[in-house]
Structure 1
Amino acid sequence: MKVAIYARYSSDNQRDASIADQLRICRLHAEKQGWQIVEEYTDHAISGASLLRPGIQALISDATRGRFGLVLAEAMDRLSRDQEDIAGLFKRMAYADVKIVTLSEGEVTHLHVGLKGTMNALFLKDLADKTRRGQRGRVELGKSGGGNAYGYDVVKKFDGNGEPVRGDRTVNEVQAEVIRRIFRDYAAGKSAKRIAFELNKDGIAAPGGGDWGFSTINGNPKRGNGILNNEMYVGKLIWNRQRFLKDPDTGKRQARMNPESEWITQDVPELRILDDDLWQSVKERQRAVKRNHSDDGETENHFRERRRPKYLFSGLTKCGCCGGGYSMISADLVGCSTARNKGTCDNRKNIRRDQLEARVLNALRHHLMDPALFKEFCDEFTREMNRLRMERRASIDAAEAEIKRIDRELDKLMKLIMASGSDDAPTRMMKQMKDLESRQKELKAFLQEAEEPPPLLHPNMAHHYHIQVDELYAALQEDSEAKRMVAADVLRSLVREIILTPENGELQIDVRGDLAGILAVSLKSKRPAGGAGRSQVEMVAGTGFEPVTFRL
């Protein structure tokens, strides 16, 4: 029996030794059972509330490929504490004909999944409730409920029993002076963007250690985040303003606002950094800016909140100087976001959006699939495929030869078993037969996967590409919004990124084409990421060729 071992611990408060202990006792159990350990999978300091863990994902992937027939763990809660996830894992393993065995529960069945899964889910809820209860108790004592804000340092100390005292904070005077500067500048009429500019110019590190941006200063007044909205700076600690829910599909936490009646407010005068007059001056200016939309930072926020339609190559344009994004800086112009918002890039060269789109579209139509260059690519691709085909053929020949040898061995063993009069000899021979049959099954599975036809490149593919792109370009001019959206999506799939670099007073544009998307369009695939041509496109794009790059 081939077995995989899985071990996990959930928090930084636990030790790596926990993983080693789990693996050790699982190895001993496997040795007693006579099982062969083929792989060990681990996840360090990762919660069991989600399956989005590298170790468990690798285990699932290898199980579906038939690498082992049994998964061994210390207990079910090591695999997952989420009821839905443990049920899904059990289904996947059952489909792959893989059993789950734990040292605590034995072989896991539907009964274990139902009862133990419910118990683990209740454990998680109870743990969350106790954690929030402890946080609320600290907040009511004027201590932090968790995390830390810019302007404060965590106080590390221990009580009489040697236990850490949590939640105490003290003012960081260096950062406090930066906070006062931000509030004074904003109250004096400077925009959040200009303040961020000046802080970066003076080499002052942002809260995360990087560069300041206007959003770090402006934040979100409703959620109470951002430098200008943190009421801790006037000695008021507010807790439970929002709660977090985990998206069941992505595993990411999403914030949800709580009713104001559920907020917990506590006075902490020892943590005050600002006086009331300065705080009120900033709040009054924020209200005026919201009414008039006159401040640069607030205008940018408002501009984003309107959710105007994205332009054709939105998100694909990059600055060649800093690597930051090129985005809309007005109704018609695109420019370097880093230069505009943070001041840490010197690229101030802008370009009209319609001019950028026209130049890139023209290149996609006339330059991206040059017939002469494509012929050279086809020749190189053919040489590479021939090399891969020869390597694969050698592996296939070796597998076929081994299958024939196993057939002969099985015939011999069968004849010996039938001729044997001993009770022990057939038992040993039967074990040998099972091993041979298992190996033969693996080889046949390999041959079944290896015998897929190789991808082919048609000599006229460049011609087909130009026809398809011309049709897509025409669709962009259609009255039908649905046709325009489909055409735009396919055209975007042809481009990996667009690099804009100022040279000699002009913007040079380098377009990096996505090879898989280009070939998919050439194959007349409606969706480059899927469809009948998908495996061919992925194999072509994965044979070591760099994306197509050309300069406009």
Structure 2
Amino acid sequence: MSQAARTAALYARFSSSKQREASIDDQLRACREWCRREGVAVVAEYADYAISGRTDERPQFQEMIANAGESDIVLVYMMDRFSRDPYDAPLYKHELAKSGVRLVSAMEAIPESPEGIIYEKLLEGLAACESRKTSVRVRRGMEGNAIKCLTNGVRVYGYRTGEDGRYEVVPEEAAFVKEAFRRRIGGEACNSIARDFAERGVVTSTGRPCGYTMVYQMLHNEKYLGKYSWGGITFEGGMPRIIDDGQYGRAQKVKGKKQRRNESWGTFALANKVMCARCGRNMPGVSGRGRCSVKYEYYGCTSCRMKAVRRDWLEGQIVGRIRELLGDHEEALRIARIVVEAGNDKAVELDRRQAQASLRSAETGLQNILNAIEQGIIAPGAKERIAQLEAQRDRARRDLDTLDEKTIDPEDFARFLMFGATLTDKAVLEAFVYQAKVDEESVLVTLNYDTQKNEPVRLDIPRVRTELQWC
């Protein structure tokens, strides 16, 4: 840990979909112990109960992000408590970093080294993978509810969950739904309807004033036709109807005066990692439209006349070469061992030894009391002492189970590197690439780990000239 870190904000989360999740109290206890051991003062504690890590709609989480800067670090029990979403995790880490705050795990030692970047990114991938497995199990039960047309917790303005678990109409809200369709058919803009509804007290499911999005979604929601739909399961007449087919159809035909083109732009996964070999400056991502509205995306040097390099070609070439390396089991295993060894935490091993000592102490104490009872010796307070020792034993076993479950086996890690479905191209680039130096003839890529000769792994990728331009 950086010596500059002197204050910490703690964050804990419990997901109701997990069957073996550490409790909020256990998470905070481990975080407080870490702070005590490292000499860090706790300035704030945040906890979200029964909320999945795959969403960022967590009140305490958002408050913690908003208060970034009140501490030197944000401390979590494990990285998956911060987020299980592969996109939210780096986004909010960046938000913290802008305020000079680092994210730290109490149970996972992520070294401040190139290997640490790989370790952290792959932990995010593993967390996302486990979250998807949990989603499959949860979804199976929810599909059974959908067949019965139960709400499954999905809130729709104009309806509420009845005693039988199915949708029933809320008359006051249904009146606003009908009014929205009537006014839209009359040509009124969604923004105008939303402003009026907000002034009259209409709010979203999260308590916010009605806005454009709420009205737009309302006007395009087929549930108001009585069509129940959840996860691809659809039943006509599966819920009460509020709008008739004619009204719904006429509302869909009303078009706004200005239609914007739906455009999709790429993400520059190598931002701040592509360097110009000629002048040594960073080559930022550049995107836009050229002649005939042709879209282009490049990494280009703004300081000299080095030929720009296409984003899709550069990123594709590097990902392809890295995946070739990871496709070899021996190389994947070697990388896995480097990362796992770099992630070995002396503090975690100390916690393991302490838990084992606590377990031995409790079991020895219980055995001594049992021996005394068998000899007819019953000391005052024996019953209370037995309860204390049993609680100590159970707590030590839970701590050991947690540590054992989170121990990463290099073979499993290697298989994840070779076949992990959540190891996206973007994750590969962010985890493995340290720098890509571009010149006129080739691209020299330096990776975040060393060869067996303790030299940085480098990839030399030749640039291919097409008829019109350099790649």
TM-score bracket for the superposition, by shorter chain length? 0.3 to 0.5
Larger radius of gyration between Structure 1 and Structure 2: 1
Higher relative contact order (CA closer than 8 Å, sequence separation 6+): 2
After TM superposition, the score normalised by the length of structure 2 is: 0.37
After TM superposition, the score normalised by the length of structure 1 is: 0.33
More helix by share: 1
